[in-house]
Amino acid sequence: MSRFLDSRLNCLSPYVPGEQPRNIGRLIKLNTNENPYPPGDKVKSALASADCDQLRLYPDPDTTALIAAAAQVYGVKHSQILPGNGSDELLAFCFQAFGEQGFAFPDISYGFYQVWADLYGTHYTQIPLHSDLTIAVDDYAWQTGTIIIANPNAPTGLALPLVDIRHLLEQNKDR
């Protein structure tokens, strides 16, 4: 089968997810963004009253109602909303669309950044975190490509304050 595989893919290492304990009992897993709580009563009620026959049909391909609701909730234009099938799909779009100048991201962060860069043959630089596991935006000042930072960072859980994000954006408005 590998003789049919695109040769760029032969050298890729598969993504290795974090530990996935099976019998977690009372443990709360923080490494997979799973909610440790059951659905709320309003969610249960909405599901109980949903027209399940509609579930067999494709949804609106333009996601018109979802975009309108999100734009209203967040006070942004409809054109500023991009729905997707999870963050991995949206990240894949980013790596395809914004990778011409390469990427920079923290060396300890979401593991899929490196996978996407390798998959799309995009140059990337991993910037070391500081000894206290923080991201220093000045470490990215010389980068000309696209910078990707999870905020809060995964897996450290440390967030950049808004002033640091603004500083990062102002360092180079062409990236």
How does pLDDT run across 142-160, given as a tens digit for each residue?
A: 998 999 999 999 888 899 9
Whether the model pTM is above 0.85: no
* Per-residue pLDDT tens digits for 44-98: 998 888 888 887 888 888 999 999 999 999 999 999 999 998 888 999 999 999 9
How far, in Å, CA of 126 to CA of 106, rounded?
Answer: 5
What pLDDT is attached to residue 53? 84
- Which residues are CB-contacts of 139 (< 8 A; sequence separation ≥ 6)? 127, 128
1 pLDDT exceeds 60?
Answer: no
What pLDDT is attached to residue 2? 64
How far, in Å, CA of 119 to CA of 23, rounded?
Answer: 33
